[in-house]
Amino acid sequence: MPQMNMVQAINDALRLEMRKNDKVVVLGEDVGKVGGVFRVTAGLYDEFGDDRVIDTPLSEGGIIGTAIGMALYGLVPVPEIQFSDFIFPAYDQIVSELAKFRYRSGGEFVSKLVIRTPVGGGIRGGHYHSQSPESQFIHVAGLKVVCPSNPYDAKGLLLASIRDPDPVLFFEPKRIYRAAKGDVPEGDYTVPLGKAQVIKPGKHVTIIAWGAMLYEALDAASQAMEKGIDAEVIDLRTLWPLDIDTIIESVKKTGRVVVVHEAPKSCGFGSEIVALINEKAFLHLEAPPVRVTGFDTPFPYTLEMEYLPLAHRILPAVVQTAQY
């Protein structure tokens, strides 16, 4: 089985689906000849031509607005937004249009597309190349939100996202684009949307994470093990719709939970996860649920490693929660 990194796995998924389905088109800034600033679409332009791998003018609103029109026509566009920090010019199209088409037209129209966009910090990108805006899209009724943590899931989740009937925001954790490597089957397979995965079983405390922070959670879990704390680590994979069953099952077992994400703490997705745990497993809790997250500041440049919820910040939270 070939070894791939995240970039190669996503590229493989796009190529596979474009060969299979001639309705799939890729569009965005620099996605064509140069293959994207992260090279995720490398080689697609040469294979599929400029009608299906389209270098667009520099306008995220234009990219998503025209992609919605293409989708209404029956194509399956997979637009790329170069950094999720730059998605906001398209926010109106995503929030007011893409997410609402099926609902507002009584099911007459479906605007189906998958927006791929790199997310997260730790690459010395400063405020405008590092943010994690996932909760701003989860809060909008009508969108599915996915964030893979490894090449196998990246390929399988992207194929599932393209074939899913609803619009999907596909966040690609750029810090591990090349660092995360693993076996990726050749050919077709999917990883179902809406299913989390228990990466490391444990019995004392549940750590919930996704994307690049999964590795920090695993690091913290292995350090906790040295202190005799056996943490269970869950990779959400799909953020919305949330796999609540996997979370509740784990929390009922451990009674203790730490949620980790890069985005700012207040109204971050962790707030929703903790609220759901309180609603559904309150009597099983042995300790207050804890969030280890980015801070409620803009994303800083020089101090980014202090901002991010890395293992050194997760570990004390895990220990304190386990010992509460």
Partner 1 sequence: MSATPSPKAAPGVKEFAHDNGKNGHHAVSPLVTYEPIRVMREDGSVDPARDPGLTDARMVELYCTMVRTRIIDERLVTLQRQGRIGFHIGSLGEEATIIGSAAAARKQDWIFPCYREFGALLLRGMPLQTYVDNMFGNGNDTVKGRQMPDHYSGRAYNFGSVSSPIGTQITQAVGFAWAAKMKKDDLVTLVYFGEGATSSNEFHNGANFAGVFKTPTVFLCRNNGWAISVPASKQSASQTFADKAIAYGIRGVRVDGNDLLAVYSATREAIERGSRGEGATLLELLTYRLSGHSTSDDPKAYRKDAEVDQWKSKDPNVRFRTWLERRGLWNDKKQTELEEQAAADLQECVKVAEKAPPPPLESMFEDVFQEMPWHLREQRDELLKGPRAKGHGH
DSSP-assigned states of every residue in 213-252 = HHHHHHHHHHHHHHTT--EEEEE-SEEES--HHHHHHHHH
Is residue 129 annotated as a catalytic residue, yes or no? yes
| C-alpha closest to that of 91 among 37, 132, 133 | 133
Collapsing DSSP states into helix, strand and coil, what is residue 293? strand
- Determine which residue in the list 1, 74, 226, 228 makes contact with partner 1, applying CB under 8 A: 74
* Beta bridge pairs of residue 264: 294
Q: Binding string, 181-210, against partner 1, x = CB under 8 A?
A: -------------x----------------
- Determine which residue in the list 30, 39, 42, 65 makes contact with partner 1, applying CB under 8 A: 65
Residue 123 engages partner 1 in binding (rule: CB under 8 A): no
Buried b (16+ CB within 10 A) or exposed e, 30-41: bbbeebbbbebb
Phi-psi region of 41 (alpha: psi -120 to 50; beta: other; left: phi over 0): alpha
Residue 93 engages partner 1 in binding (rule: CB under 8 A): yes
| Number of residues engaging partner 1 in binding (CB under 8 A) | 44
Q: What does the CA dihedral 267, 143, 119, 3 come to, rounded to 10 degrees?
A: 130
Comparing CB distances to partner 1, the nearer of 169 and 322 is 169
Residue 67 engages partner 1 in binding (rule: CB under 8 A): yes
Please give the Cα distance from 84 to 204 (Å, whole number).
35
- Determine which residue in the list 12, 17, 85, 97 makes contact with partner 1, applying CB under 8 A: 97
Task: Choose the binding region for partner 1 from 32-40, 60-68, 257-265, 285-293 (rule: CB under 8 A).
Answer: 60-68
- Determine which residue in the list 13, 26, 68, 159 makes contact with partner 1, applying CB under 8 A: 68
Comparing CB distances to partner 1, the nearer of 219 and 272 is 272
Q: Angle CA(149)–CA(155)–CA(161) in degrees, nearest 5? A: 95
How far apart, in Å, are the Cα atoms of 297 and each of 84, 198, 266? Answer: 17, 31, 10
Please give the Cα distance from 156 to 153 (Å, whole number).
5
How far apart, in Å, are the Cα atoms of 18 and each of 49, 159, 162? Answer: 11, 10, 10
Determine contact, residues 146/169, Cβ cutoff 8 Å: yes
Task: Choose the binding region for partner 1 from 121-129, 136-144, 145-153, 200-208 (rule: CB under 8 A).
Answer: 136-144
Residue 92 engages partner 1 in binding (rule: CB under 8 A): yes
Q: Binding string, 14-53, against partner 1, x = CB under 8 A?
A: -----------x-------------------------x--
Task: Choose the binding region for partner 1 from 73-81, 283-291, 296-304, 308-316 (rule: CB under 8 A).
Answer: 73-81
* Beta bridge pairs of residue 294: 264
Comparing CB distances to partner 1, the nearer of 106 and 228 is 106
Residue 101 engages partner 1 in binding (rule: CB under 8 A): yes
Q: Binding string, 141-170, against partner 1, x = CB under 8 A?
A: xx-x--------------------xx----
Determine contact, residues 145/168, Cβ cutoff 8 Å: yes
Residue 244 engages partner 1 in binding (rule: CB under 8 A): yes
- Residues noted as catalytic: 129
Site residues (vs partner 1, CB under 8 A):
25, 51, 56-57, 59, 61-62, 64-75, 89, 92-93, 96-97, 100-110, 141-142, 144, 165-166, 194, 241-242, 244
